[in-house]
A and B are shown apart, each in its own frame.
Chain A
Amino acid sequence: MRSSRAALLVAGIGLVGVGAVEAWRALGIAQLVGMAVWLAGAIALHDALLAPGGAVLSRALERRGAALAPASRGVIRVGVVVGVVLTLITVPAVVAQWRGTFNPTVLTRPYAAVLAGVWLGLAVLTALGVLVAQRRSTVRSS
């Protein structure tokens, strides 16, 4: 275990090194600065928005869902995470479609409606998952 972890660590650091050298060789200063801003933006987005949002949702779930079995709360968490991931992907398309495009072959789907359908489908699947998890936990505890 310890040796495989060490091997993974070395391989990871090695790959980061290769990436850094290649980026330095292939990209200009402006592109490197742009990449740094983009990466910093991803960290800022995560720390300022996603992590606090996740903590608030999680706290609410622990309070409101106290009566639910732990497995059910897990199912709800998975459903919310999947929904948020798909929403993050789709929101730029919804905004761009609302602003309009000069190219009729881009943004070809009704993204807002698809996103609503995605959440509806996730709600149904999550509800089914919770039902199954609740039934299992009552069977186990009786």
Chain B
Amino acid sequence: MSRRTLLAATGLGAATAALLTAGQTVPGLAPLALLAPRDPRVGPQGIPVNRTAAQAGVLSTARDRAWRLTVLVGSAQREFSRQELLALPQSRSELPIACVEGWSATATWDGVPVRDLLAAAGAPDGSALRLTSLERSGAYRVTEMPASYVADPLTLVALGIAGQPLDLEHGYPARVIAPGRPGVLQTKWLSEIEVL
């Protein structure tokens, strides 16, 4: 094999592989992502799902009318129903789910800015948080959010996508969405926020 043939073969191999898979995360190339495991446009509300509600074991707990989001500030505790969260001033963030699996998809999220929710619950500024999901198990059931993300006005307790209530697969009744964090840290089926 000549050097030219070798370079052409490796170059074309890499280029076609990239072309047929990059659409998983590069906007505009999605129609070409014929060999990628994900299509960033396919899923409930046009967004793929990493972990389903069935896999997380939340099919009944997430739909329970008795669900409340618990906010713990020191020894004080406040509970918010979905109705109460919807009654707070709402905000909209255009943010991607950037999954560590290698796909990303951007959505329009509706919900309550986390810093406003904390203010309503009486938490001090500059707090870091511990977030807990309804998930039965999993490495990311309980995660922490540093103060810089908490203070970002784009960081939401999301209740909907583009004017529609959040799909169960995307974390109904409420999830976290913050800029610049891997998808596994965008806690779905949120049940508790603890101020650290």
- Within A103-131, the residues touching B (CB, 8 Å) are 103, 105-109, 111, 114-115, 118
Contact B43 A102 (CB under 8 A): no
Partner of A81, one of B4, B10, B34: B10
B19-63 residues at the A interface, CB under 8 angstroms: 20-21, 34-39, 42-44, 48-49, 51-52, 54-55
- B21 adjacent to A89 (CB under 8 Å): yes
Give the complex CA separation of A89 and B21 in angstroms.
9
Whole-angstrom distance from the CB of B29 to the nearest CB of chain A?
14
Query: Are B42 and A105 in touch, CB under 8 angstroms?
Result: yes
Q: A86 touching B4 by the CB < 8 A rule? A: no
Given A81-B9, A93-B37 in contact, is the A86-B17 Cβ separation under 8 Å?
yes
Chain A residues in 8 Å Cβ range of B43: 105
Interface residues contributed by chain B, number (CB under 8 Å) = 29
Is A105's CB under 8 angstroms from B48's CB?
A: yes
B32 to chain A, nearest CB (A): 11
* Tally of A interface residues using CB under 8 Å: 25
Q: Which residues of A contact B52 (CB under 8 A)?
A: 102-103
Q: In the complex the two chains form, what is the Cα distance from A109 to B10 in whole Å?
A: 26
Asked if B13 contacts A82 (CB within 8 A), the reply is: yes
| Given A107-B37, A108-B42, A74-B5 contact (CB < 8 Å) | yes
> A137 in the interface, Cβ–Cβ < 8 Å?
no
In the bound complex, residues from chain B placing their C-beta under 8 Å from that of A105 are 38, 42-44, 48-49
Q: How far is the CB of B27 from the nearest CB of chain A, in Å?
A: 17
Partner of A90, one of B2, B35, B51, B55: B35
Given A74-B2, A102-B54, A82:B16 Cβ within 8 A: yes
Q: Is the beta-carbon distance between B42 and A58 smaller than 8 angstroms?
A: no
Asked, given contacts A85-B17, A86-B17, A86-B20, whether A77 binds B9 with beta carbons under 8 Å apart, the answer is: yes
Query: A86 touching B35 by the CB < 8 A rule?
Result: yes
Residues of B within 8 A of A109 (CB): 34-36, 39
> Do B34 and A114 touch (CB < 8 A)?
yes
Q: Is the CB of B35 within 8 A of A93?
A: yes
Q: Lowest 10 A-B CB distances belong to which pairs?
A: A81-B9, A85-B13, A105-B43, A74-B5, A105-B48, A78-B9, A105-B49, A108-B42, A82-B13, A108-B39
Give 5 A-B contacts (CB < 8 Å), ordered by A residue.
A81-B10, A86-B16, A105-B48, A107-B37, A109-B36
Interface residues of chain A, those whose CB is within 8 Å of chain B, are 58, 70, 74, 77-78, 81-82, 84-86, 89-90, 93, 96, 102-103, 105-109, 111, 114-115, 118
Given contacts A70-B2, A108-B42, list 9 more A-B pairs with CB under 8 A: A74-B1, A74-B2, A74-B4, A74-B5, A78-B9, A84-B13, A103-B52, A105-B43, A105-B49
